A and B are shown apart, each in its own frame.
Chain A
Amino acid sequence: MSDPSPSLHLRQRLRRGRDHLATALITAGGIGVIAALLAIGVFLVVEVVPLFWSTPTDTGHEVSWRALWLPQSYEGYDAPQHRWQPTVTSAEERPQYGMTPLVWGTLKAAAWALVIAVPLALGAAIHSAMFMSRRLRSRIKPTLELMEALPGVVIGFIAGLVLAPWVERHLAGALALVVLLPPGVLIAGWGWTRLPVRLRRCLPLGWAGLWLVPWLLLLVAAALGLAPWLEAGWFGGDLRGWLELRLGLDYASRNAMIVGLAMGFAVMPSVYALAEDALSGVPGSLGEGAQAMGATRWQTLWKVVLPAASPGVFSAVMIGAGRAVGETMIVLMASGNTALMTLSPFDGMRSMAASIAIELPEAAFGGTHYRLLLLAALALFVFTFLVNTLAEVVRARLRHRYRRLGGAP
């Protein structure tokens, strides 16, 4: 038994040293991230707390928790109002700090984004995980995931300066599209089942993503072409007037529908990607077993695969909600920033994130306005933190479940 040669010994020690160094660096990085996260939270709390502790020096008006959230009576109004008008132009005025419209606007924008993004993203995920041909999927999935790389500013810019004026000019056509497209796709599906088998073989289900495109274009053309006649026939040639007269809806050019479309577009890729991963990660043995016992593809999907993947789908939606609540530039550019509290999809709104972006540069450092904006920031931070943590916990449990199922004989 001879000693290892000194150079080999040295090399081993060097390698071990490198390992230690790498481990230490990675650990330090992890701790650093956690520390930074905590520090941000602590900073926000420390900045916000004086709001309720002491009388602010800049306005002389105490800010109470109730005044932030409940309607207040202001000079010149008949009834108590929720108002957000934090800057004053003369000394005898009182700034109006009603935070409720901002919270409302944030939730409303996120809700409309999810209404548009979730059905589309989940539908796409189910189709591409269960039915789509492998070749098409290998092209479409990266493309959809690439959409996620589009910066919010760009989407917001297009929504605010191109989409919003276009929809305002072609309101009837745009609404006709919204009404016509979903049933149009359903009709295509029904028609497909009625086709003779020979024809159906020419239009395989796995390639529906491609052969539906001409049909969709046809629907779009039909909706836009028919809209002026529909408007003239049913709505007296003035859909906006009709909406206002009959339904009491005022159409603002930058509204929840536009924000929902734009932000839905921004949120969709991440929801799709996560849901698709969850669905295609369901162990194949489960679906095969169900089909072997005579279940149809639909039954397999609905009764076996979806329940198995449901935590993953849930966390995909949660991640989408977190992104929609925190998204700033799209809401800033496409919502009109009107601090309203209405349910109407044709009204604008003002979100907390957009308010922070617009107002923080002008807020006097340490003043009430500044602290209120940081309170909004804290609320956003807590919300996205909770939502993301929840999503991550659920996903971890899902991975565990898959491992167990996959390992079963």
Chain B
Amino acid sequence: MQRGGKARRRWLGALILMLAMPVAMADEVVGSLGAVGSDTLAGLMLRWGEQLTDRHPGIRLQLQASGSASAPPALVAGTTRLGPMSRAMSDTERRDFIERHGYPPVEIEVARDALVVIVHRHNPLTQLSLAELDGIFSATRRCGGGHAITRWRELGIERPRGRLALHGRNAASGTYGLFRQRALCNGDYRARLDEHPGSAAVVAAVAASPRAIGYAGRNHLTAGVRALPLVDAEGRAVRPDPERVRQGDYPLSRTLYLYLNLPPGEALPGPERAFVELILSPEGQETVVELGFVALPQATLERQRRRLGLHETP
């Protein structure tokens, strides 16, 4: 009799708890957020996800980071509502989305970043012009690279001797596409370019070989490699410093985006709203800097908050 009474009391307790739960969490946002897209943004998205769970314990973020190119198909197919991308959507991708859903995706700038051209830390090269960059990486040289550059001697340095060993990203990544667009003017990559499945792998490969040159996201820089200043159109050598990247002076600056599937006229659903609020908040932008990216200018943050109807947050 004793045991039965105890069990009944426990049941009763659980029942009360279950009844009380919705009351306690009525003003809490609950739900799970799924995101598919850029692996450049993976670390940032995960950190934002953690902060979001700290703010709203009911929300969980699930991330699948297989490259920017995987975001549009997932958004079009409706398997996700959030698509982080390290480049803007192409016209074809946007058209596919509109064809399927009847309205364009909502585009939110979340941070700035830059692609850096890296060499081994002992490499004496001081700077690189955009024409030289084209001559090094491109097979078709549409960006002003007059002739192919295959040896370090042709860049005016004695050591390292021999050929340049090229390292870059695989075709799924936004980094690959953006570098091709900006540095190669949509030309073809040299066939002799090692394609790595991650920016960290590119950096590791360049750090291991004095003859290597490669490109990667700025946030992946390590002590083993050196980012080269690039000479812009006016002939100034520009370093990938935060200020230069924020203003877009550095030639390979880029903006990182988050795409949302949101029918026009509808308000953001709770979890998404909380997430975007966090990203555009000072706390969210601090995380951006912590992870090696560059925070958005204040004006851009304000403008986007207004556009999304988030102006009540500080």
Give per-residue flags for B191-211: 1 if the beta carbon is below 8 A from chain A beta carbons, else 0. Answer: 111111100010011001100
Q: Does B291 contact A (CB under 8 A)?
A: no
Query: Which residues of chain A are within 8 angstroms of B195 by Cβ–Cβ distance?
Result: 336-338, 350, 358
A362 interface neighbour in B77, B171, B186, B193, Cβ under 8 Å: B171
One of A90-98, A200-208, A301-309, A388-396 contacting the partner: A90-98
**CB-CB nearest in chain A for B138:** A76
Is the beta-carbon distance between A340 and B162 smaller than 8 angstroms?
A: no
Give the shortest distance, in Å, between B184 (CB) and chain A (any CB): 9
A165 interface neighbour in B70, B90, B142, B208, Cβ under 8 Å: B208
Is the beta-carbon distance between A338 and B139 smaller than 8 angstroms?
A: no
Q: Does B181 contact A (CB under 8 A)?
A: yes
Q: Does B188 contact A (CB under 8 A)?
A: yes
Query: Which residues of chain A are within 8 angstroms of B181 by Cβ–Cβ distance?
Result: 89-90
Give the shortest distance, in Å, between B269 (CB) and chain A (any CB): 26
Give the shortest distance, in Å, between A108 (CB) and chain B (any CB): 15
Give the shortest distance, in Å, between A323 (CB) and chain B (any CB): 22
Query: Which residues of chain B are within 8 angstroms of A226 by Cβ–Cβ distance?
Result: none
Is the beta-carbon distance between A339 and B191 smaller than 8 angstroms?
A: yes
One of A36-44, A124-132, A247-255 contacting the partner: A247-255
Is the beta-carbon distance between A362 and B209 smaller than 8 angstroms?
A: no
B69, B70, B162, B195 pick with most chain A CB within 10 angstroms: B195
Is the beta-carbon distance between A89 and B180 smaller than 8 angstroms?
A: yes
In angstroms, Cα B167 to Cα A337, docked, is 10
Is the beta-carbon distance between A337 and B170 smaller than 8 angstroms?
A: yes
Query: Which chain B residues (119-174) contact chain A, with CB distance < 8 Å?
Result: 139-142, 161-163, 165, 170-172
In angstroms, Cα B193 to Cα A83, docked, is 13
Q: Does B212 contact A (CB under 8 A)?
A: yes
Q: Does A196 contact B (CB under 8 A)?
A: no
Give the shortest distance, in Å, between B138 (CB) and chain A (any CB): 9
Give the shortest distance, in Å, between B140 (CB) and chain A (any CB): 3
Query: Which residues of chain B are within 8 angstroms of A93 by Cβ–Cβ distance?
Result: 186
Is the beta-carbon distance between B208 and A358 smaller than 8 angstroms?
A: no
One of A3-11, A47-55, A237-245, A311-319 contacting the partner: A237-245
In angstroms, Cα B161 to Cα A361, docked, is 39
Give per-residue flags for B98-112: 1 if the beta carbon is below 8 A from chain A beta carbons, else 0. Answer: 000000000000000
Give the shortest distance, in Å, between A337 (CB) and chain B (any CB): 4
Is the beta-carbon distance between B197 and A241 smaller than 8 angstroms?
A: no
Query: Which chain B residues (216-270) contact chain A, with CB distance < 8 Å?
Result: none
Give the shortest distance, in Å, between B65 (CB) and chain A (any CB): 10
Query: Which residues of chain A are within 8 angstroms of B170 by Cβ–Cβ distance?
Result: 337, 358-359
**CB-CB nearest in chain B for A76:** B140
Q: Does A287 contact B (CB under 8 A)?
A: no
**CB-CB nearest in chain A for B73:** A364
In angstroms, Cα B176 to Cα A185, docked, is 47
In angstroms, Cα B195 to Cα A340, docked, is 12
Give the shortest distance, in Å, between A329 (CB) and chain B (any CB): 10
Given contacts A338-B195, A339-B191, A362-B171, contact A252 B186 (CB under 8 A): no
**CB-CB nearest in chain A for B185:** A90
Is the beta-carbon distance between B192 and A338 smaller than 8 angstroms?
A: yes
Is the beta-carbon distance between A358 and B172 smaller than 8 angstroms?
A: yes
Q: Does A23 contact B (CB under 8 A)?
A: no
Chain B, interface residues (CB within 8 Å), range = 35 or more
Q: Does A86 contact B (CB under 8 A)?
A: yes
Q: Does B92 contact A (CB under 8 A)?
A: yes
Q: Does A348 contact B (CB under 8 A)?
A: yes
Query: Which residues of chain A are within 8 angstroms of B141 by Cβ–Cβ distance?
Result: 76
Query: Which residues of chain A are within 8 angstroms of B171 by Cβ–Cβ distance?
Result: 85-87, 358-359, 362
Is the beta-carbon distance between A90 and B186 smaller than 8 angstroms?
A: yes
Query: Which residues of chain B are within 8 angstroms of A169 by Cβ–Cβ distance?
Result: 208
Is the beta-carbon distance between B197 and A165 smaller than 8 angstroms?
A: no
Is the beta-carbon distance between B193 and A338 smaller than 8 angstroms?
A: yes
Query: Which chain A residues (87-115) contact chain B, with CB distance < 8 Å?
Result: 87, 89-91, 93, 96
Query: Which residues of chain A are within 8 angstroms of B161 by Cβ–Cβ distance?
Result: 238, 241
Is the beta-carbon distance between A336 and B194 smaller than 8 angstroms?
A: yes
In angstroms, Cα B163 to Cα A347, docked, is 13
**CB-CB nearest in chain B for A75:** B140
Q: Does A65 contact B (CB under 8 A)?
A: no
Q: Does A343 contact B (CB under 8 A)?
A: no
Query: Which chain B residues (49-68) contact chain A, with CB distance < 8 Å?
Result: 66-67
**CB-CB nearest in chain B for A165:** B208
In angstroms, Cα B92 to Cα A364, docked, is 11
Is the beta-carbon distance between A359 and B194 smaller than 8 angstroms?
A: no
Q: Does B91 contact A (CB under 8 A)?
A: yes
Q: Does B177 contact A (CB under 8 A)?
A: yes
Q: Does A146 contact B (CB under 8 A)?
A: no
Q: Does A190 contact B (CB under 8 A)?
A: no
Which A residues are closer than 8 A to B by beta carbons? 74-77, 83, 85-87, 89-91, 93, 96, 160-161, 164-165, 168-169, 238, 240-241, 244, 250, 252-254, 332-333, 336-340, 347-348, 350, 358-359, 361-362, 364-365
A-B contact pairs, 13 of them (CB 8 A): A77-B139, A87-B69, A87-B171, A89-B177, A91-B92, A160-B201, A161-B201, A165-B209, A250-B192, A252-B192, A253-B209, A333-B197, A338-B191
Beyond A89-B180, A359-B170, 4 additional pairs, beta carbon < 8 A: A83-B191, A338-B191, A358-B197, A362-B69
Pairs of residues from A and B, 9 with the lowest C-beta to C-beta distance, nearest first: A76-B140, A336-B194, A362-B69, A165-B208, A362-B172, A337-B195, A361-B66, A87-B171, A90-B186
